[in-house]
Structure 1
């Protein structure tokens, strides 16, 4: 069994919903996660995400199906910003993050920042 922090499981569930074309049941979400956490755990996290208004739900018979209610890129960017805000050395965190980017990710970041020149 894979043990993960609750925040990590929330992020994995949100990513599974972001990749879906429509609503997913807790069982469908569970099958898309590494290690397949307990159904009750996935359901509990989904209820919490619903309370936070990060997902919407729709009744399908006796059960609910879920869909992402927010823009995934905004959600991830907000989490990254929160981590930077609480870091004792935000510049060091940013530096370490940039050092781990792939060539393609670096190219995209340079493009966003308006610096398309390689090595600049």
Structure 2
């Protein structure tokens, strides 16, 4: 079994939480993540995400049920921005990113870029 890159499992847990219809248990999340990760590994990730205030939890019997506490699109966009900020050549990174987009992703990006942007202080 190969190991995931650093942060990939956390991202997969966040994506599974975002896709869940409501609060979900560690076992329920584990079933949604490919590669058969250990229950304790998922639980550790959830505890860390809770400490970062990215998930909320509520006790349900002896276990917790978890829910995403932040907007997924904001979370992913912030991570992308952080990666660009630390890149030595952000233009090259963006170019490589765009080259690997699917047709649907490219169409979505074009729609966002073609949409007039609101100015600071304006409401959309």
TM > 0.5: yes
TM-score, normalised to structure 1's length?
0.92
CA contact (8 A) 1:2 1:35 kept: no
Question: In structure 2, how many angstroms separate the alpha carbons of the residues matched to 1:76 and 1:109?
Answer: 15
CA contact (8 A) 1:59 1:65 kept: yes
Question: In structure 2, how many angstroms separate the alpha carbons of the residues matched to 1:79 and 1:41?
Answer: 22
Question: In structure 2, how many angstroms separate the alpha carbons of the residues matched to 1:56 and 1:79?
Answer: 20
Partner of 2:121: none
Question: In structure 2, how many angstroms separate the alpha carbons of the residues matched to 1:90 and 1:10?
Answer: 24
Question: In structure 1, how many angstroms separate the alpha carbons of the residues matched to 2:40 and 2:77?
Answer: 29
**Aligned residues between the structures:** 115
| TM-align CA RMSD | 1.1
Q: Detail structure 1 runs of 4+ shifted over 2 Å in the superposition.
A: none
User: CA separation of 1:6/1:44 partners in 2, compared to 1, >3 Å: closer, same or farther?
Assistant: farther
Shift of 1:5: 2.9
Question: In structure 2, how many angstroms separate the alpha carbons of the residues matched to 1:111 and 1:25?
Answer: 37
Indicate yes or no: 2:9 matched with 1:9: yes
Structure 1: segments with no counterpart, 5+ residues: 116-120
Question: In structure 2, how many angstroms separate the alpha carbons of the residues matched to 1:99 and 1:35?
Answer: 28
Partner of 2:72: 72
